[in-house]
Structure formats: structure tokens, C-alpha cells
Structure 1
Amino acid sequence: MQFFIDTANLAQIREAYEMGILDGVTTNPSLMAKEGIKGKDNIFAHYKAICDIVDDKVSAEVIATDFEGMVREGEELYEIDPKKIVIKIPMTRDGVKAIKYFSDRDMRTNCTLVFSAGQALLAAKAGATYVSPFIGRLDDVGTDGLNLIEQIVQIYDNYGYTTEVLAASVRHTMHLIKCAEIGADVVTCPLNVITSLLNHPLTDNGLATFLADHKKLNG
């Protein structure tokens, strides 16, 4: 399973990268705003800074909602770093058209705001590189987000689609572990969700015992 970090915070991205567990980064306008990044030039410079930290797979989201605007913005984002940028496109009618446009030109895409298996099927048929079901937001409205991941994985396996399932809106470690069990290709989440995997009381207790025994023997 690949781990993406869902943030625009450079310090957190660098920390995850230095841990050796980071495969990519996802961002969106809200995350950019959270870091106080405003204006096209500053946003593009920030994407470039992210690309300079990581090895690959930086999802950069278009703001336009019409086909022509998505294509124009997507091409501009792509030029920031053609080897690393993945163009993030919303699941809409024009979004599906834009995904097909970019797919035909071997430009990677991430279809975002997916909430149904039908939407995921359309994204795959259009050639999306990644499809991002938002499992946490589905849980918020009383729907089983993990069940959607399972549905999409099965559909893609049935027909041999190469689109990768990128579980988004992952809120906690059990979300992450369940996604791994189900067969999601990627999870994207805040850094604290990933680092929470480090924690277990028996590890802490065992280390404390080892250190105490070492101190007894070595003064």
C-alpha cells in the first residue's frame, strides 16, 4: 500500500519523507488556505516547493468547474513539474471529460470527491490514474465508507481497470488498516494518522524493560 500525506504543510511533508514512508502528497484549496497560501503565483510556488521535497505524485487541484477551464488550469499545474504533478479533477460531467483529455495525453489525474461506485466506474473508464473515494465524509452521513472502497476494488478487479483506488478522508488508524485489508492501493491522510501506527503499549513497556535491565547491568 502507498502512503500519501494530505496536507500543504512543508514541515509535515518533509518529516514524512525523511521517515522513508512517503509515496506522494495530496492537496486541495482548503489545505492551501490553511497554510495561508493565497494567489496563483504563491500557490504555484508552493506546489513547486512540495515537488522539490518528494520523489513523485503530488496531486494539484484545479479550481475551474468547466471543461475548458479545467484543461487550461490542469496544463498550467502540470508544467510546474511534469514528472511529479498529478492533476486533481472533481467528479463532474466536465471533470470526466477533462480526465479523458489528460489521459489521452499521458498526463496523470486524480479524480476527487467520489462518493459512489458508479462515479468510480466512470472515472476509470475515462482513464483516471487515481480515484479518490472520501470514506470519512460518507461515515459522517451514516454511510459505510469502507464498504465503498471494497465495492470499487471488486469492480476494478472484475474488469482489469488500471485506475488505482486512493482512499481519502481517512480519519484514524482503523480506517487505514481496514483500507489495507480491503485492498486499496493508496491511502491519503494527515501525518498523525500514519505516525499513530507506531504506537502500541507493549512496545513502550518492552522498551522500558530493556532499558531498565541494561541500566542494572551496566550501572
Structure 2
Amino acid sequence: MKFFIDTANLAQIKEANDLGILDGVTTNPSLMAKEGIKGADNITNHYKTICDIVDGDISAEVLSTTFEEIIEEGKKLAAIHPNIVVKVPMIKDGVKAIKWFTDNKIKTNCTLIFSAGQAILAAKAGATYVSPFLGRIDDSGWDGVQLIEQIAQIFAVQGFKTEILAASIRNANHIIRCAEAGADVCTCPLDSILALLKHPLTDIGLAKFLEDAKKM
């Protein structure tokens, strides 16, 4: 399973990349705004900087909701760097745009997936990734990981090449369960990634080793 970091914070992206396990980055307008990135030129330059740090797919989200506008915005984003993946919402015009991008060799990430039917449509249109939001599904009282399992089974049966990018990750356990469920990619905050490092028995064992080493 590939690891993406879900942020626009350059320090966190660099820290995750330096860890040696980072495969890509996902961003959205909310994450950009959180970092104080405003204006088309500043956003473009920020994406360029991220691409300079990480050698992997970088999802850049369109703000448009009509077919023509999504295409125009997506072309501009894709022109920033070869690693840019155009992030498109799961709406009717979004699906049409994904097909256009696919036919024109532009990678896409279909975001805001909440059902297997939506994932099927995105895959049929040729999306590079589909992003089920399991944390938000959990918030609604359902199990988001079950959706990952369902999509993985359907894609395997149908032979879809689209990768499942598990999004809206809330904790380290989400990451582990997504790996078990068949997600191809997991995108999450840095804290969730670093939480995988932690176990009390590791701390106890290391303390014991260091104590014994002093006696040598």
C-alpha cells in the first residue's frame, strides 16, 4: 500500500518524505487555506514546491463544477508538473471531465466517493484514483472500511485498473484496516503516520536494551 500525506504544510510533507515511506501528497482548497495560501499564482507556486520535495503523485483539486470549467482548470493544474493528478469531484460533469482527462493522458483522482456505485462510475470513466472518505462515513454511523472492501472486491472482479485511495483517515488503526481491506493508497495526516511507530512494548524493550548496554 502506498502512503500519501494529506496536507499543504511543507514542513510536514518534508518530514514524511524524509521518513522514507512517502509516495505522494493530496491537497484540497481547505488545506491550502489553512496554510494561508491564497491567489492563483501563490497556489501554483506552492504546488511546484511540493513537487520539488516529493517524487510522486500530487493531487491538485479543481474548484469548478461544470464540465468546461473543470477541463480548463484541470489543464492548467496538469501543466504545473508531470506528477500533478487532477482531483475532480464525484458529480455528473466531474465524471464527464474524468473521461476527457483520461482520453488526453491526464491523471485524475475522483474525490468525495461515498458509495460503490460512485466508485464504479469513476473507474469506468478511467480515473487513476478513487477517494472514498471513510472517516466521514464513520461519522454518519456506518463503517467506512467496509466500503473500501466492497470497492476492492468489485474492482478485482471487473478488472478495473483504478486505484483505491482511502481518504479521510482519522487514526493509525484506520490505516491498518485499510491495508487489510485492499486499499492501494492511504492518504492521512502526519500524526496518523507517525502513530504507526508507537507501541509501549517497543519503548520498554528499547529502555531495557539501553540499560543492558550500559553494563557491557
What is the rounded CA distance, in whole Å, between the counterparts of 1:147 and 1:183 in structure 2?
10
Q: Which amino acid aligns with 1:174?
A: N
Larger mean CA deviation between 89-98 and 142-151 belongs to 142-151
After superposition, give the CA deviation of every residue in 1:153-189 in whole Å (9 maximum; x if it has no partner).
0000011000000000010111110000111000000
Query: Hey, what's the Cα distance between the residues in 1 that align with 2:161 and 2:8?
Result: 27
Alpha-carbon distance in 2 for matches of 1:43, 1:177: 33
Partner of residue 55, structure 1 = 55
**Who is 2:201 aligned against?**
202
2:7 is the alignment partner of 1:13: no
Amino acid aligned to 1:61:
E
Deviation digits for residues 54-113 of structure 1, max 9, x if unmatched? 0020000000000000000000000100x2000000000000000000000111000000
| Equivalent residue runs for 1:31-42 within 5 Å | 31-42=31-42
Match of 2:115 in 1: 116
Q: If the length of structure 2 is used for normalisation, what is the TM-score?
A: 0.99
Show the 5 A alignment for 1:1-219. 1-81=1-81, 83-217=82-216
CA distance in 1, matches of 2:188, 2:92: 27
- Structure 1's unaligned 5+ residue stretches are none
What's the CA shift for 1:143? 1.3
Cα separation, 2, equivalents of 1:35 and 1:211: 40
Identify unmatched segments of 5+ residues in structure 2.
none
Q: Secondary structure at the match of 1:25?
A: strand
Deviation at 1:216, TM superposition (A): 2.2
Q: Secondary structure at the match of 2:52?
A: helix
Secondary structure, counterpart of 1:198 in structure 2:
coil
Moved over 4 A (4+): none
**1:201 counterpart letter in structure 2:** P
Q: RMSD across aligned C-alpha pairs, in angstroms?
A: 0.5
CA distance in 2 between counterparts of 1:86 and 1:214 reads 49
Q: What is the alpha-carbon distance in structure 1 between the residues aligned to residue 56 and residue 72 of structure 2?
A: 22
Sequence identity, in percent? 68
Q: CA deviation at 1:144?
A: 1.1
